Structure 1
């Protein structure tokens, strides 16, 4: 068996969202701001052979849900306009998570170890929660992290700024615009 290798792994974290939760009114406007740069990044990743596109999404406590159920629920949710442009296509690499980090109780670490990316680009929501905790877990596993601030959405702008600063300072994350991530 030949080992799979990619230059880059792009993680799309928690973007399959129904926007039917207490923070949805605060979060959705910030997601709307990132949808264009994120969808361009996702489209570019789909076109490239040297990039692995991986969707990791919360199962929202439904341990019977297939990933397709989560996508369908998001598309039928309050803001399908925030889901359609970046929804996974057939054959995409997908996995569900149960807590904040995309690594927690998932096979993501194993998958990335097999793919051997030179860097991992974190996109999605929420910057000060799931993106931050995923960045820390990637860092402690020695995966170089890139975070495009225009492709991650926040609930609280001050906490988001602090999270980006922490990722850069404490985890050596590269903070670069989405349009420059796959150059």
Structure 2
């Protein structure tokens, strides 16, 4: 199995945006899967990389993003997935985890060839990140029970597109294996 990295997308969130209420219910459902993936990746010593939106705060870094998310009204959705001291962190400004970020370089340094994607939002940031990973020749895995959506119908379509058009392995958290 190629070296694997877990990519945690946009889970440090204040949930102070237009689609927050629709998203929160889905995040609650995905949270057990995300925490399980984190536990398994950490136990196998696979790299865990948080890639998070900067919410337009151009002077922010991961500590400020985490503090803002923990101070938000849905702290209970952030605490279980907070980065540990070994986590790596990349700040993004757009939908894809690769767009204008050093993630591809970091993954090269780590010699990662397989990416397990989890987080939010399935039909937006997860979809665009899977596409960008695919065109960079990474093997893509998306644990369907560890991604959250705003629109369930669009999320199902996005998972189908990732599988069909990007050869992504769409599976459950129970099927994900980390190589360490």
Do both share a fold (TM > 0.5)?
yes
Shift, 1:44, TM fit: 1.4
Q: Return the alpha-carbon distance in structure 2 between the equivalents of residues 88 and 182 of structure 1.
A: 20
2:139 is aligned, of 120, 125, 144, to 144
2:38 is aligned, of 37, 42, 46, to 42
Q: Deviations over 1:105-135 (max 9, x none)?
A: 1100111122222310010000000000000
Shift, 1:144, TM fit: 0.6
Which residues in structure 2 correspond to 1:15-164 (within 5 Å)?
A: 15-49=11-45, 51-164=46-159
The two structures have a TM-score, normalised by structure 1, of 0.94
Q: Which runs of 5+ in 1 are unaligned?
A: 1-5
Q: Deviations over 1:12-44 (max 9, x none)?
A: 000000111110000000000010111011011
Q: Which runs of 5+ in 2 are unaligned?
A: none
Q: Return the alpha-carbon distance in structure 2 between the equivalents of residues 125 and 71 of structure 1.
A: 16
Q: Return the alpha-carbon distance in structure 1 between the equivalents of residues 86 and 160 of structure 2.
A: 35
| Cα root mean square deviation, aligned | 1.1
Q: Which runs of 4+ in 1 moved over 4 A?
A: none
The equivalent residue for 1:8 is: 4
| Alignment coverage as a number of residue pairs | 177
Q: Return the alpha-carbon distance in structure 1 between the equivalents of residues 85 and 107 of structure 2.
A: 20
Q: Return the alpha-carbon distance in structure 2 between the equivalents of residues 182 and 69 of structure 1.
A: 32
Check if 1:178 corresponds to 2:176.
Answer: no
